[in-house]
Amino acid sequence: MASPAVDRAHAAESESLYSRVPHLPSLVYWGLHLLGLLALFHAPTAGALWLLAVMFWVRMFGITGGYHRYFSHKTYKTSRAFQFVLALLGTTAVQKGPLWWGGIHRLHHRYSDQPGDPHSPRDGFWYSHAGWIQDPRWDATPRDQVRDLLRYPELRWLNRWHALPPLALALGILALGGWSSFLWGFALSTTLLWHSTYTINSLSHRWGTQRYETGDTSRNNWVLALLTLGEGWHNNHHRYMASTRQGFLWWELDVTYYVLRGLQALGLIWDVREPPCELLGEPALRKAA
């Protein structure tokens, strides 16, 4: 176990400097929303529309395959180098650093729909969707939840400087593609990415079906699964968080899982975990899965 002195050093290294500037996170957050709206009044080029799609789906995978299924739940294993690549990709989604995201999500599962859950739907739809992000209670990285990740100095550095990769991405798009590409390919895609991700905190705890009794309001929703590359199978996930695969049955599309299997075939990840057969119900369902 790390000493208190080491813990304090890790705390200082892993906390975001960006968040310490008064009102800066809120200005950036709402500023990107305004720029996203402005994009709708600015005719896009064909390249800007392609960039919108690529930036949305690639960065969505950074959240689903990286921040969620790896950093939050460790549902597969990878090298230290590729671990950093996943963390870097996740930061470009402008959802803070991997230690913060993973720690907050682990709190969600620990206290799901109970006091201590950062985004419980029992606190209201808007709060669970986006209001909690403006709540100062959840600003700091919950380091006690991510002690396994704190031992990597590169992750602590990236968690502290998580604003740099998306800033570099935004400036690169603006410099290479111009104003149209920036508005559509970065500002609008980021805003859409945010709210698509948020639906798993809000809508997937209100809208859908419950295959398993999990003691919370998590639900499976195929529409949200399509939108978020498989995260909409949320009741499945709450029943067995250790599974890489969240669409337990063959017809439950889970694009994140398919991409991760592709990465496994390339040797970049391994020990991809599956749901236990007993969770799938009757023998016919076990065979289908």
- Listed as ranges, residues in the chain with pLDDT below 70 are 1-20, 22, 281-289
Tell me what pLDDT residue 13 has.
56
Per the CB < 8 A criterion, the answer to whether 14 and 156 are in contact is yes
CA 104 and chain centroid, separation: 11
Q: For residue range 166-197, list pLDDT tens digits in order.
A: 999 999 999 999 999 999 999 999 999 999 99
Domain segments of the chain as ranges: 4-288
CB proximity list for 139: less than 8 A, separation 6 or greater: 19
Tell me the sheet residues that pair with 233: 220
Tell me what pLDDT residue 19 has.
66
Distance, in Å, from the CA atom of 181 to the CA atom of 176, rounded to the nearest integer, reads 9
Per the CB < 8 A criterion, the answer to whether 107 and 145 are in contact is yes
Among residues 133, 113, 134, which one has the least CA distance to residue 123? 113
Indicate the pTM of the whole model.
0.90
Among residues 10, 285, 49, which one has the least CA distance to residue 180? 49
| Largest separation between any pair of C-alpha atoms in the chain | 57
Say how many Å lie between the first and final Cα of the chain, rounded.
40
Tell me what pLDDT residue 118 has.
93
Per the CB < 8 A criterion, the answer to whether 120 and 131 are in contact is no
Tell me what pLDDT residue 278 has.
79
Tell me what pLDDT residue 6 has.
43
CB atoms within 10 A of CB 97: 29
What tokens were used for 219?
């639900």
Tell me what pLDDT residue 48 has.
94
